[in-house]
Amino acid sequence: MPLPIIALAIAAFGIGTTEFVIMGLLPEMAADLQVTIPQAGMLVTGYALGVVVGGPILAVISARWPRKPTLIALTCMFVIGNVACALAPGYYTLMAARVLTSLSHGAFFGIGAVTAASLVPPEKRGHAISLMFAGLTLANVLGVPFGTALGQAFGWRSTFAAVTLIGVVALVALWRWVPGRLPRSHGRIIGEFTVLRQKPVLLALGMSVLASVSMFSVFTYITPMLNQVTGVGGHTVTLFLLVYGVGLTFGSLLGGRLSGGKLMPPMIKLMAGVVAILVIFWLTLADFWIALATMFIWGMFAFALVPLLQLLIVDQSAEAPNLASTLNQSAFNLGNAIGATLGGVVIDAGLPYGRLPLFGALLMLFALGVAVYTLRMFKHRAARERASMQIAENRA
C-alpha cells in the first residue's frame, strides 16, 4: 500500500472511531453530563447533521485549494474538535464540539477519496479508495470496542483524548507522506454547484442514500433483534458486532477489487446479493451460528458497494470532484438517519424484530432498481456516442 494512502487510512480510522464510539458510551456520558440517554443520543444526531450540511460547504470553500494543505487543515480541525470534546464542561459545549468535529468528516472523506484515486494508475483507483475506507471499517472493528472499554474504565473524556492522539499521528503521516504536488480541481467554483444538475451524479447519490437506508434500517436495531430472536445478549452481541465489522473491512477491499473495470455490473450484483442475504438472515436469525455467518456476509456485500459508489461519483463529476465526492458522504449519513427512523417507525407500527431484515431487503430493492436504470442510461448514452462517431466518420 502506498504510504500516502496509509496516511489517509489512519485519518479515516480516527474519524470513524470518533463518530461511532459515542454509541457505546451514552449511559456514562448521560450520567456525567446530567442529561437523559435520549438527550445524549442527540450528540450522535448532531454529528450526522454536521456531516450532511458542513461537508459540502467546506468542499465548495476549498474547491481550488491545493489538496495536501486542505487535508492537513481538515485533520487539524478534527484534532481541535476532539480536544474540545475531551475538555467540554457541559452538554451544550460538547454538542458544539461534536458539530465542529463533524465538519471535517464529510470533506475529508470526499477530498481524500479524490486524492487516493489520483495517486494510482486509473485501473487501481477503486482499490486505492477501498484501502482508504478500510480505515473507517477498522474503526468499527478495533477503534469502537477499545474506545468504549477505555471510556468505561477511565471516563468518556479519556476516549476523546485517545482519539486526539490518533488525529495527531494522522496529521504527521499526512504531512510526511502525502506528496505536495497533487492535481487540483480544474473546474470553477460555480461548477461545484452545477454538477448537481447532472443526472448520473444525482442517480449515484440516490443509490448511496438508498443503500445506506437499507443497512441502517436493520443494523440500528441489531441488538434488540439478536436479544429477542436469536436469544443472545451481553458480550455475545459484541461478538456479532465484531464479526459484522470484520465483514465490513473485507467488503471494502472486495469493492476495490471489483472496481478495475465497469462499475455498474458488479454494483448491481452486490445489491442483488444484499437482498438475498437479508432474506436469508430473516430465515436463519434464530440459529446462532448461521446468523453469525450471515452477519459477516451481509457486512461484506453491503460495504463492498461503498468504494464502487464513491468511484462512480468521482468519474461522473470531473468538474467538481471535491463537492460530489463529499456529497456522497452526506448521502451515506442521510441514509443512516432515514434508515434508523424508518426502522423505528415500522417497529412502532407492529413489525416484529425478526422481520426487520425483510424490510431492509425491500429497501435495497429500490436501490437495485435505480442501479438498473442507471446502467441502461449509460448503455443508451454509449450507443448514441458510437452512432455520432460513426456519422462523423462517414461524413469525413
Q: Which fold has domain 1-184?
A: Growth Hormone; Chain: A; (1.20.1250)
pLDDT in tens, the chain (396 residues): 589 999 999 999 999 999 888 877 877 888 899 988 778 878 877 888 888 888 888 887 877 788 899 999 999 999 999 999 999 999 999 999 999 999 888 889 888 888 888 888 887 888 888 888 888 888 878 888 888 888 888 999 999 999 999 999 999 999 999 988 766 655 555 556 666 778 888 899 999 999 999 998 888 788 788 888 999 876 787 788 888 888 988 998 898 888 767 889 999 999 999 999 999 999 999 999 999 999 999 999 998 998 899 888 878 876 677 777 788 888 888 888 788 888 888 888 888 989 999 999 999 999 999 999 999 998 888 788 788 777 777 776
- Residue 166 identity (one-letter amino acid): I
Contact criterion met (CB below 8 Å) for 312 and 186: no
Biggest distance spanned by C-alpha atoms of the chain: 78
Residue 220 to residues 14, 212, 216, 338, 339, Cα–Cα distance (Å): 22, 11, 5, 11, 8
CATH of 187-396, one of 3.40.1390.20, 3.10.580.10, 2.170.150.70, 1.20.1250.20: 1.20.1250.20
Tracing cell 485517545 back to the chain, one arrives at 162
Which residue, 14, 119, 137, 123, is CA-closest to 67?
A: 119
* Cα-Cα end-to-end distance for the chain: 48
The residues spanned by each domain of the chain are 1-184, 187-396
Same fold, 1-184 and 187-396: yes
Please state the separation of Cα 339 from the chain's center in Å.
14
